[in-house]
Amino acid sequence: MEHKDLEVWKKSFDLAYRIYLLTNSFPEDERYGLTLQIRRSAVSVPSNIAEGCGRTTDKDTLRFIDIANGSIAELETQILLAQKLGYLSDTTILNRINEVRKMLIGLKNYLKNK
């Protein structure tokens, strides 16, 4: 399966792009702190989907989907912290995160039951 054809990859790639735009407004002193962590988590999701799809077995693919799922949970936690600190007021980003999480679970279930 080609990763760029997967809707979950497209949504997670778009999410990472939006995260980059949103974190541009974070305080300068967070550049190597929360900003960096949020961006790494966001990029990790589509990257792990892509890497998993590049593997030869469903077992290998599932492992990378699990890693992507961990990254989306990490991203959610960091976004919640950024909101609590007042760095981020966009509440729709959490909806996008939840949508990607549900899609990752769906892909995982599909691969397990294949």
pLDDT of the chain, 114 residues: tens digit per residue: 799 999 999 999 999 999 999 999 999 999 889 999 999 999 999 999 999 999 989 999 999 999 999 999 999 999 999 999 999 988 899 999 999 999 999 999 999 997
What total number of domains does the chain contain? 1
Q: Which residues of 68-91 are buried (b: 16+ CB within 10 A; e: fewer)?
A: bbebbebbbebbeebeeeebbeee
The pLDDT value given to residue 114: 79
The pLDDT value given to residue 89: 87
Structure tokens at 68: 């992507």
The length of the chain is 114
Gap between the Cα atoms of 103 and 100, Å rounded: 5
Find the domain containing 69 and state its range. 3-112
**CATH code of the domain containing 29:** 1.20.1440.60
Give the Å distances, CA to CA, from 46 to 15, 27, 28, 59, 91.
9, 26, 26, 18, 21
pLDDT digits (tens, 9 = 90+) for 61-85: 999 999 999 999 999 999 999 999 9
